[in-house]
Structures are given as structure tokens and as C-alpha cells.
Amino acid sequence: MSYEKHAWWKEAVIYQIYPRSFADSNGDGIGDLNGITAHLDYLAKLGIDVIWLSPIYQSPNDDNGYDISDYRSIMAEFGTMEDFDRLLAEAHRRHIRIVMDLVVNHTSDEHPWFIESRKSKDNPYRDYYIWKEPTETGAAPNHWESCFSGSAWQYDALTGQYYLHCFSRKQPDLNWENPKVREEVFDLMDFWCRKGIDGFRMDVISMISKDQSFPDGPLNADGYSDMFSHVCNGPRVHEYLQEMNRRVLSNYDLLTVGEAAGVTVEEAKKYANSEGTELGMVFHFEHTDGAANSEPVLGKWTCTPPKLSYVRKILNKWQLELEGKAWGSLYWDNHDQPRVVSRFGNDSPKWRVKSAKMLATVLHMQKGTPYIYQGEEIGMTNRHFSSIDDCVDIEEKNAWQQLVVEQKLIAGETLLKCFDCVGRDNARTPMQWDDTANAGFTDGEPWLAVNPNYPAINVKAALADKQSVFYYYQRLIELRHTLPIVVYGRFEPLLEDSEEIYAYRRILGEQVLIVEANWTGREVACPLFADNSWEELISNYEVHKAGFLQPYEARVVWKSRG
Ligand code: TEU
Ligand code: CA
């Protein structure tokens, strides 16, 4: 049976670890590398093939490691390079690969390159970053808004210029137009490849080429203009990635996934093209950015869960458009997203397990490489924020300062409710290992409060319950490892107008696999696509009702047409 071009990462299931919140081995309340090593057997039991580590490099942690001050050393709080070498060796011994998070759109302002760059206009490192003169009135070069609120430009009095930071002011953007910057990046990538890592997740890689005219645009109600169309998928981004591929990636057998803010399907066909001249795959954000907010100034801050038709239209489009042209990634959760069972499912005690399994089925039976975020496999949920003091994420704190305190564009309790629904801290509460103090995450004081529902939702309870979300994910992973149709089968949508059922077919040669999932908490009539001759592969119900799907019921059946 001929499949498209084989690659190990097309058949793999990836598990993302946010090290700060995974497991603390030394009682300082902060997760660390030795904590991960101590839990590798758990991940081997789940059956995952790859661990994607969120950044573990030296960082002042303005953005929890996404602000790097030394790419070649391990963050002191996470451990030492010896701890990393041990983690890598222990993971490989269990046939688990390690993918690092490459953050090279920007560095920390405490990186030696930036410390030099800001010293003078003629410093050799000046052009490692993006510096511009003020306007005649002394204002910033344009009205671009940072992803973390406020101006994307920071004035530096020492040399009387502004520098660009698409994220926090402590995350100055690197100037990729400068061939020396590209050289430095390729060199640090090679350093980690020579250590034996197995790939990179590339942070906001779609933003490394900016429109060099830095054009301004119409102002939003908050007085700033959107920068995304001028910094995403820029004029030289594919040139840079093809150079990166030639200089580094093509020398190793790596998984590469680009976190591509603003990527469209058309652009994805370039970033993740089947000829392998750039990256293996990309993350898009169309389904997680959610329905556009009715209040533009609120941007992502909303509590309205996207309707099934909205989510299905997007996921089906990506399935159909990439077919045979590029490889895709599949995810609901990561360290920037709310917990999927709270955002798209139902995290009430009655329906949490059923809806978590339904969501997992919808995603993991699709074509592409699936990503599981720590805790998703046991159905961890969002937590409740009772005050802004509960929040530690820079994106949330800056939004509060601008929208509530300075501009008074939204009431505090309204924005706090939005943090409950979509704030990034939801994904960063410590991993819930058992029902002992702090969910077994630490013997110390956790850096971020543990979700109070940990006594009921934790790994120990999940491993003791054969009907848990954990064993359901384990079975989904096993299906992907054993049935080529799950990896390589062509995707065909079904019931595209339903607001209740997500259904689709996968076809490989004579084999057909059908997925039916009730997205709602109500029993719904479901035209069966399969008679009793079909074999059931997995379901979150043991007993079915012919012609109906029970609340949040998901079923996968298959047969060979031969
Ligand atoms: O995220 C980039 C990005 O687009 C996110 O800021 C996302 O838009 C937002 O958080 C969700 O609404 C990457 C990292 O994943 C994120 O953790 C970092 O804060 C950011 O880049 C800067 O490095
Ligand atoms: Ca620790």
C-alpha cells in the first residue's frame, strides 16, 4: 500500500511539557529537569513518542523562559546541563525523543547581544536588533501594538532611539535582515543538534521577517494599530527558513514545527511543503483564536466558546487543503491556551470525562501529527481567578493594566471572567500527580497555585481507573501506532451542516474508518454511517443507542471494503 513520503514524525504523538509546572524535584516550588526525568516512565506508559520541552535556557523569566539570555545554558531554576544530558539519555533509552523550543524571533533584553546593541549606535551588535529614530514629535516610529498590550516600541534614552518588541519590552526582536543574526541562530541550533536532540518547535517563526517600511495603520479604540499583517509571513520568511534548512536542518533527521502566528493554509503549504525545503509542519491558530470578539478592543478576551460549525469548518479546511501538499499538526491545548475540556467541552463533574474523551477522539483520528499538552491526558480543567492578584502571566497582567487601569475600556470583573475562560495561566497551574499536598507537584510552595480540584483530578486516580481519560488517550495513541489508516488515510468530511455532530471518514486503500462525535450535552439523532458489520475501535460509551448519539458520545468504527 503506497503512502505518502514516510517520516518518523508523521507517525509520532508529541507530548508538550511546560517544565516550570510539570514536576519539582528539589522542593523550591518550581518544576525542573530532574522532575521530568523522574516521570519518564509515566510518559512511556501513555505511549507518546516525543517530548516537546518549552524553553529551558537561561532566562530572567519575564515571559517564563520565552525571553532567553543565554541559548547555550540551562535556566538555573530548572537545573544544569548535566541534568539535561541525563534527561536526554533517559528519554532516548525509553525510545522517547526530545524536541526543544527555539525562540529566535527575539531574545531577552538581558542577552549579551542586546546589552551590547543598546550601548551605542555604532556598536557592532547594534543591527542585531531593530532600532528606529523617533518621529519629529519624539513619538514611536508607528502605532503598532505589542501582543502583550501597549506600544511595540520602547524608547532607549542612552541612544535616543526606539527598539521593536512584538512581545514584552524585555523581549527585543532580532533583526533577521542581518546575516550575522542568521549565522548566530544557525550556530546555536547546530550546538543543540550536535548534543543529540530530535527537533525544534519554533516560536513565532512566522514573524522573523518584517515589512521593512514598518507601515502604520488605522488606530483601534485603544489608540494602537495592528501589526500582525506587517510582521507575520513577511517578505523574506521563506528565504530565511530555506537557508536555515540548508545550513542546519537538512544535516539531521529532525521534527520541526513552526508556531506560525497569522499563518493561512496557503502559507502553510510553503512552510511545511512536501519537498521538505523548510519545516515539517506548522501550528495555526484559526480554531483556538476563537470567534472574533464582538468588541474588537477586547481582542482574544472572550468567554464565548466557538460553535461546532466554526471549529469544524476550520479543521476540515486544513485537512482537505493540506492533503498531499503539506503535513499538519493537530492540537487543542498548549501553554498559551485554556484547557480544552473547559473551553470547548464541559468541565462539570458529570460530563468532564465524557467530553474530554469526545474532544480527544475528534482530534486524534484526524490526519497530521497530534500534540498532547501536559494534563490534557487526565482531563485537567481551567481554574477560577478571584482577583488580578491570582494572575502571573504577563499577557494577562499587561492587558489588565491597559484595558482596566489606564484606558478603562472594560470592567475589571468582565476581564477577570475572560481570564477564567481563555487566560494563559489556566494551562500553567501545576501538573496534578496525586491527592497529597500541592497535588504531589512540589514539597515546597508552588510558584503558581495548584487547581483546587486536584484531589479528584490527578494522575494517581487516573491510573487506578480503567475508564479514565488517561487510558482513553493511551488507546488513541495505540490506534495511531498500529493502524496506518489513522496516519495516512485520506480525510473526508461528513454531516458538514450539523451543529451537534462532528463526523468524518478516513480512507486508505480498501479500508474505511468513520468517526462520529456528539459535540453537545444532549442526546441527538445520528444517521449511522456504519451497520453492525463494522468493527468498533474506540468509544467513550460501552452501550450505544441505535440511531442516536448520547451526550458527548464519540465512536470510531472501521472495516475493509474488500
Ligand atoms: O506565542 C506567540 C503567540 O502568538 C502567543 O502570544 C499567542 O498569540 C497568545 O499567547 C495566545 O493568545 C509564543 C509562545 O507560545 C508564548 O508563550 C510566548 O509568550 C510568545 O510566543 C513570545 O515568545
Ligand atoms: Ca525545582
- pLDDT of 529 reads 76
Residue 261, ligand 1, Cβ within 6 A: yes
CA–centroid distance, 51 to ligand 1, in Å, is 19
The tens digit of pLDDT for each residue in 17-64 reads 999 999 999 999 999 999 999 999 999 999 999 999 999 999 999 999
Predicted pLDDT of residue 306: 86
Assign domain 112-164 to its CATH superfamily.
Answer: Oligo-1,6-glucosidase; Domain 2 (3.90.400.10)
Q: 340 CA to middle of ligand 2, Å? A: 27
Assess whether the C-beta atom of 336 lies below 6 angstroms from ligand 1. Answer: yes
Residue pLDDT, tens place only, 508-547: 999 999 999 999 999 999 987 778 899 999 999 999 999 9
Least Cα distance to 336 among 304, 308, 300 occurs for 300
Instruction: Look over the chain and give the mean of its residue pLDDT values, rounded to a whole number.
Output: 96
As a whole number, mean pLDDT of residues 475-501 equals: 97
pLDDT higher than 50, residue 1: no
Banded model confidence at residue 560, pLDDT cuts 50, 70, 90 = confident
pLDDT at 305 (0 to 100): 85
Q: Report whether pLDDT(2) > 50.
A: no
Strands 97-102 and 131-132: unpaired
Neighbours of 59 (CB within 10 A): 25
Q: What is the pLDDT of residue 90?
A: 98
Q: Output the CA 21–ligand 2 centroid distance in Å.
A: 10
Give helix 237-247 / helix 179-194 axis angle, nearest 10°.
40
How does pLDDT run across 116-174, given as a tens digit for each residue?
Answer: 999 999 999 999 999 999 999 999 999 999 999 999 999 999 999 999 999 999 999 99
Enter the CATH code of domain 489-560.
Answer: 2.60.40.1180
Which residue's C-alpha comes closest to atom 7 of ligand 1? 336
Q: Average the pLDDT over 386-392 and give the result.
A: 94
pLDDT given at position 6: 84
Alpha helix (H) residue ranges in 227-287: 228-231, 237-247, 265-271
**Ligand 1 neighbourhood includes 103 CB (under 6 angstroms):** yes
259 catalytic residue (yes or no) = yes
Dihedral-angle region of residue 57 (phi above 0 means left; psi in -120 to 50 means alpha; beta otherwise): beta
Question: Judging by beta carbons within 10 Å of its beta carbon (0-12, 13-18, 19+), is residue 174 exposed, middle or buried?
Answer: buried
pLDDT value at 420 more than 90: yes
What was the pLDDT predicted at 558?
96
- 516 catalytic residue (yes or no): no
Per-state percent for the chain, helix, strand, coil, to nearest 5 = 35, 15, 50
Give the CA radius of gyration of the chain. 23
At 291, the pLDDT band (50, 70, 90 cuts) reads: low
Catalytic option among 77, 259, 286, 393: 259
Residue 297 confidence (pLDDT): 74
- Per the model's pLDDT, the better-predicted residue between 491 and 301 turns out to be 491
Question: Is 221's pLDDT higher than 90?
Answer: no
Is the pLDDT assigned to residue 255 strictly greater than 70?
Answer: yes
| C-beta of 330 in contact with ligand 1 (< 6 A) | no
**% residues pLDDT > 70 (the chain):** 98
Give pLDDT, residue 527: 85
- Atom number, ligand 1, closest to the C-alpha of residue 337: 11
Amino acid at 352: R
Confirm or reject: Cβ of 63 under 6 Å from ligand 1.
Answer: yes
Compute the distance between CA of residue 174 and CA of residue 102 in angstroms, rounded to an integer: 13
Look up residue 8 and give its three cell numbers. 518518523
Residue 562 has pLDDT above 70, yes or no: no
**Residue 161: what pLDDT?**
98
Per-residue pLDDT, averaged over 218-243, amounts to 95
8-107+179-386+426-475 classified as CATH 3.20.20.80: yes
Q: Where are the beta strands (DSSP E) in 415-497?
A: 490-494
Q: Where are the domains of the chain?
A: 8-107+179-386+426-475, 112-164, 387-425, 489-560
Rounded distance from Cα 444 to ligand 2 centre (Å): 9
pLDDT computed for residue 349 by the predictor = 97
Q: Distance between CA 274 and CA 162 in Å, rounded?
A: 40
